[in-house]
Structure 1
Amino acid sequence: MLQQLYIKNFTLIDELNIELHPGFSVITGETGAGKSIILGAIGLLLGQRADSKTIKQGADRCVIEAHFNLSRYQLEPFFTDNDIDYDASDCIIRRELTAAGKSRAFINDTPVSLALLKELGDMLVDVHSQHQNLLLGKQDFQLEVVDTLAKDQDALTAYQQTYAAYHDKQRQLRELQEEMERNRHNLDFLQFQYEELANAQLVEDEQEEMEQQRETMTHSEDIKTALYETQQHLSADEQGVLSLLRKSLSAIKTITKVYPASEEWTERMESCQIELKDIVQDVEARLDAIDFDPAELERINQRLDKLYDLQKKYHVDTVAALIQQRDELKRQLSQIENSDETLSTLQEELDKLRKNCLRQAEELTKYRQKTAKEIERQMHERLVPLGMPNVRFEVKVNKTDLHKNGQDDIAFLFSANTSSPLQPIAQVASGGEIARVMLSLKAMISGAVKLPTIIFDEIDTGVSGKIAERMAEIMQEMGANDRQVISITHLPQIAALGTTHYRVSKEETAKGTVSQMRLLSDEERIHEIAQMLSGSDITAAAIQNAKELLRTKN
């Protein structure tokens, strides 16, 4: 339940901080006073998209905050699943907008995405505005109403999971069929490509090795010369590095006993001597191995040219990529060879999923058909007192192909009198009739779903007098069932039934036009309803009528 609403710097509102109450409340005020602004602010709290133009002129940001009591609505799992602190007695939702176009949302001071804010908002508040009456003509909305009242969510979720798997299997089968059709047309070409790559006897690292071999053979004379000179400098008899090192080592050993510091040099020089001998052996071995073989160089060049040609042909840069291409071609050829078996397996899986879908969809149909009869009965009971004594309302459950919500389409058929045939409601119902039908549906839904707060924005459009009274009584009944119902109205018959009465007004100040909303006292309420009855010139008769309305209805 919405307990408190705070709005700052939003459109025409400087600052509003108002407490809201359980039961049935009404909001009145002249056209253009700012009632739609209040709804707009609540809409932002429920996750609607923001526009920086809604920030009050001259302000750098606006804040909208609401406090909810959730103690009766078992919403703790939502907070646990999303790692948000949970306080059943005071859940705080806040939305902040800046003039720079930035928007932030918070639930109990935890920053959240707009999608998560909307998810919670959908569980807290239902705002029924006039444009929602248009939904009555849409099949998706009609189906949603029936499913809500049927309480078939578990069966619907199970079906949707099966249908998603069925739809995915259809896609797999279609893609495989398309791929196989393409492959069959290209079978000869695929076979040629595979044999070309297979016959090339590709080895993953061979290109790098042969490129190195070619580089070595191409510069073999330079390499041999450098190795020979290195071997001579290191191991020549008298002037080679090793010979000189041996002499130096002999000299230094003669003083180790009298000059201890030389012992460390001895060890280091001996280590160098061992390392240099090892280098000489390696150089000599390599020198013997270097040999220029024109035939081998030609073979290497031919092999590399073959690899380069294949890479260019198949638009790759490495032998590893060629190997991957070869393996993919092998897979495609194998798939073509085993295509009938693969298709048969997929088709069997698809058929099994379809049977499961049909079985689960049939279960949903039974729920809906049973609920349709109950909706028809209740709608007749609710609409007759609303000024439609000859009303007929039928919920038609039509079989269709499988879709994401089963195999049913729902059609609400309507006739306000006995002489007119039943037709889709959006085609034949007047605005006032649509409003009464929507209110009756909302009353039914509110009994099936524990939604904390329901806001009606001029649900009374097109009605007056006794019909308006009865509509108000329905909203009053809804508000008495652990629920908060708020009606924005222009009708005194509805305003008089509210347990709590708020007025939205607009005034000119030094800072410009400002909208305000406040709770009316008993005397102010009489004055407000009298004004709704007689207009701006409030007569004594209007005052008396207002008192009678309030006395009778409360």
Structure 2
Amino acid sequence: MIEELRIRDLGVIAEATLEPSPGFTAITGETGAGKTMLLSALDLLLGGRADASRVRVGAERAVVEGRFTSVPAAAVARAEDAGAELDDGTLILARTVVAQGRSRAHVGGTSVPQAVLGDIGEQLVTVHGQADQFHLRSRATQRDVVDAFAGPEHADLLATMRTTHAALRRAEQALAEFTANSRTRALEVTTLTAALAEIDDAEPQPGEDLALREEVDRLDNVEVLRSGASEAVVALSGRGADDLGAVDLLEASARALNRAAEHDPSLGALAEQIMDSSRVVADLNAEIGTYVAGLESDPRRLDVVHARRAVLATLGRTYGVPWAERGPQDPPAGSTDAVILWARHARARLDELTGPGQDPDTLREQVAELGAEAAAVATRVTAARRAAGDRLATAVTAELAGLAMASAQVEVALDPVVVGPTGADDVAILLAPHPGAPARPLGQGASGGEISRVMLALEVSLADAGEATPTTFVFDEVDAGIGGRTASQVGQRLAELARTAQVVVVTHLAQVAAFADHHIVLEKDTGAPDGTVTSVRAVSGDDRTAELARMLSGETTATALEHAADLLERSDVGR
């Protein structure tokens, strides 16, 4: 519910504060007084498009701020998701439009994108104006009205319909892509199969190319290796009986220390360490000797290694490339490890192309199953819509009887269409304005006044059914094309709607305004120093009677005042 609406420097409104009542508030004023700008302010607050031209001439920015109470849970959740906070259950929305720059939106003191205001606003307020009359002519809007009237269980069914249809569309797309790319897929399968057969036939091992390179280097340099190792053996063991090597020298050193150790025990410990070193050197000498004995030229093995390296080099040039973009941990390009990694990715891709479900028959079965499921859900949606449409038509027809359309008959027609995310129905609300007249869609032949009354009857019916989510309704031009007794009946219906929701009506008709609990008048001052200025004031008592008289005759004559007083006396329904 709107508790307060503050406007500054928006169009002809320099500064204004509106405090609608919880029930029915009528807003009136002469043409050009700023009633349209008032609705523009509300539109901005609810996430509408910002227009810098609406900023008052000479001002830097226009600001609109609204305080809302009795905030629906969905709006609270969306506001909290955006980081906003409520103050004692009160939600504050604000919008700033800069003459030169971008607009800004705030929810609960937190800056938010414009779209967030729209998400919250649709939970708070329903605005009906001339544009909404156009929307009501839309079949999609009429379908949404019937769906809303059908209740929460139907809403759950529609969610299932959307989910099922989305799955069907994905399956159809997968089949279409499979069919369109069948030749490309077959070529890719053939290419990957041949590549993996070539790699598997070679059986490359991790790090094999590096190991073979080391072996080639060893086989190509056998004499160099033998000479170096032999010299090491001689140095460790000596050349002959009279030529001492490292082992002999270490042992002699240990013996000398042991002879002197009787005079200093610490030399014995050193001698033991030298003997340990002697044994290590002796072991090394033996290993080097074994190495030298095993060195021999092997031309045949060298040919085998060269041939193997050639095979691996060919694989490396062909497949030793990154599968996709190279990663920091990938092995060097052209290496055997790179070939093994490429084969791993290729095998995964081949499994993806040839795995279960990757054939046209399986995809066609999925499409058929999901199509049958979607059709079954659509049948349930149609049945629920038909039942809700009949109930809604009865309720709206009854409401129209009280809006000077006693002979009018409303019907809800469902025409079959291809199954889609909303079901398989084209929904049309039909109106027969009088007996004998054919029932025609609202967009064909219904006048603006008739659509206004149908719109009001729909809202009253939705509210009576408990399906009117927002707690506030704003009506503009709901009295278009009507007058006299019909206008009084519209006012009465608005007052009845205000028993369960806040209703704000911008009206030109005294017969409608007379039913309001609270009356606000917009007045323009064309003699203000800075141009036309609109003021906002609440009227009651004699001031309200005078305003109704002005609306009736354009003047506050005695007759007009008497007529206005009579209207107020007779319009006590809902006040």
User: How many Å separate the matches in 2 of 1:414 and 1:393?
Assistant: 5
- Alignment of structure 1 residues 340-359 onto 2, 5 Å: 343-344=361-362, 350-359=367-376
Contact 1:392/1:415 (CA < 8 Å) preserved in 2? yes
Q: Find the partner of 1:396 among 392, 413, 419.
A: 413
- Bigger drift between 27-36 and 57-66 goes to 57-66
SS at match of 1:49: coil
Q: How many residues align?
A: 541
**Residues 161, 422 of structure 2: 8 Å contact kept:** no
Instruction: Give 1:493's match in structure 2, choosing from 511, 536, 541.
Output: 511
Query: 1:380-459 counterparts in 2 under 5 A?
Result: 380-448=397-465, 449-450=467-468, 451-459=470-478
Question: How far did residue 101 of structure 1 move?
Answer: 1.0
Q: How do 1:42-441 and structure 2 match up within 5 A?
A: 42-57=42-57, 59-70=59-70, 78=77, 82=81, 85=85, 89-98=89-98, 99-106=100-107, 108-151=108-151, 153-172=152-171, 174-176=173-175, 178-179=177-178, 182-183=181-182, 187=186, 190-191=189-190, 193-201=192-200, 209-210=208-209, 213-214=212-213, 295=303, 298-311=306-319, 318-319=338-339, 320-329=341-350, 331-333=352-354, 339=359, 343-344=361-362, 350-441=367-458
Paired AA for residue 105 in structure 2: R
Give yes or no for contact 1:411–1:424 (8 Å, CA) kept in 2: yes
Which deviations, in whole Å up to 9, do the C-alpha atoms of 1:221-277 show, x marking residues without a partner? 8999899999989x9789xxx99xx9xx99xxx9xx99x9xxxxxxxx999999999
Name the SS of the counterpart of 2:434 in structure 1: coil
**Amino acid across the alignment from 2:307:** R
Residues 228 and 444 of structure 1, relative CA distance in 2, 3 Å threshold: farther
**Aligned letter for 2:157?**
A
Aligned-partner SS, 2:444:
helix
- Indicate if the aligned counterparts of 1:142 and 1:410 stay in contact, CA closer than 8 A: yes
Q: Aligned to 1:516, which of 535, 543, 565? A: 535
TM-score scaled by length of structure 1: 0.78
Larger mean Cα displacement after TM superposition, 440-449 or 156-165: 156-165
SS at match of 1:93: strand
Deviations along 1:31-66, whole A, 9 cap, x unmatched? 232222222222222222334554445555544322
Contact 1:432 1:462 in 2 (8 A): yes
Distance 1:292 1:55 in 2: 95
Distance change in 2, residues 1:289/1:208 (3 Å) = farther
Map 1:461-500; keep pairs closer than 5 Å: 461-481=480-500, 483-500=501-518
Flag the structure with larger Rg: 2
> Structure 1 residues 505, 198: closer, same or farther in 2, change over 3 A?
farther
Question: 2:565 aligned to 539, 544, 547, which one?
Answer: 547
Deviations 1:395-414 (A, max 9, x none): 11233332222222211222
For 1:381 and 1:510, the matched residues in 2 are separated by: 53
- Shift, 1:302, TM fit: 2.2
Retained in 2: the 8 A contact 1:391–1:416? yes
Partner of 2:271: none
Cα distance, 1:88 vs structure 2:
6.5
In 2: Cα distance, 1:132 partner to 1:439 partner: 11
- Are the structure 2 counterparts of residues 203 and 312 from structure 1 closer, same or farther at C-alpha, using a change threshold of 3 Å? closer
Contact 1:24 1:476 in 2 (8 A): yes
Superposed CA deviations along residues 61-111 of structure 1, whole A, max 9, x for unmatched, are 54432222217x5668736984764567423233345553152331x3355
Matched residue type, 2:200? Q
2:568 counterpart letter in structure 1: L
Q: Deviations over 1:385-431 (max 9, x none)?
A: 43334323221123333222222221122222334322222111112
Do the aligned partners of residues 189 and 117 (structure 1) sit closer, same or farther apart at CA in structure 2, a change above 3 Å counting?
closer
Maintained 8 Å contact 1:455/1:487: yes
Q: Which residue of 1 aligns with 2:269?
A: none
CA contact (8 A) 2:9 2:59 kept: yes
2: CA distance, partners of 1:490 / 1:230 = 114
Residue 505 of structure 1 aligns with which residue? 523
TM-aligned CA distance change 1:194 to 1:470, over 3 Å: same
- CA distance, structure 2, for counterparts of residue 326 and residue 119 of structure 1: 48
On the 8 A contact 1:365/1:408 being kept in 2, the answer is yes
Measure how far apart 1:126 and its partner are.
Answer: 0.4
- Secondary structure of residue in 1 paired with 2:200: coil
| Matches of 1:427 and 1:5, distance apart in 2 | 38
Q: Which deviates more from structure 2 when the two are superposed, residues 274-283 or residues 393-402?
A: 274-283
Q: Is the 8 A contact 1:67 1:91 kept in 2?
A: yes
Which AA in structure 2 matches 1:500? H
Q: Tell me the SS of whatever aligns to 1:332.
A: helix
How far apart in 2 are the matches of 1:352 and 1:43?
46
Cα distance in 2 for partners of 1:91, 1:216 equals 80
Q: CA–CA distance in 1 between the matches of 2:529 and 2:425?
A: 60
- Supply the distance in 1 between the matched residues of 2:420 and 2:544 (Cα, whole angstroms): 52
Q: Is the 8 A contact 1:415 1:421 kept in 2?
A: yes
Cross-structure match for 1:266: none
- Residue 489 of structure 1: CA displacement? 0.8
User: Which sits farther off after the overlay, 87-96 or 388-397?
Assistant: 87-96
The answer as to whether partners of 1:9 and 1:61 remain within 8 angstroms in 2 is yes
Q: In the alignment, is the contact (CA less than 8 A) between 1:6 and 1:15 conserved in 2?
A: yes
User: What residue number does 1:531 align with?
Assistant: 550
Contact 1:414 1:428 in 2 (8 A): no
* Unmatched segments (≥5 aa) in structure 1: 261-268
**Cα drift, residue 155 of structure 1:** 3.3
**Quick one: distance in 1 between partners of 2:280 and 2:533?**
93
Letter in 2 for 1:94: A
Whole-Å separation in 1 of the counterparts to 2:19 and 2:283: 93
Please say if residues 150 and 388 of structure 2, whose CA atoms lie closer than 8 Å, have aligned partners that are also in contact. yes
User: CA 1:203 to 1:221, structure 2 compared with 1: closer, same or farther past 3 Å?
Assistant: closer
Between 469-478 and 33-42, report the one with greater CA deviation.
33-42
Contact 2:85 2:91 in 1 (8 A): no
Please tell me whether the aligned partners of residues 530 and 542 of structure 1 are also in contact (alpha carbons under 8 angstroms). yes
| C-alpha displacement of 1:533 | 2.2
- 3-state secondary structure, aligned to 1:386: coil
Alpha-carbon shift at residue 335 of structure 1 (Å)? 5.6
Counterpart CA distance in 1 for 2:218 and 2:54 is: 78
* Deviations 1:493-532, CA, capped at 9 Å, x for gaps: 1122211111123335444443332212433322322222
Return the letter of the residue paired with 1:190: V
After the TM superposition, which of the residue ranges 451-460 and 219-228 deviates more from structure 2?
219-228
The sequence identity of aligned pairs, in percent, is 26
Q: Which stretch has the larger CA shift, 444-453 or 73-82?
A: 73-82
Contact 1:126 1:455 in 2 (8 A): yes
| Aligned-partner Cα distance in 2 for 1:553–1:105 | 40
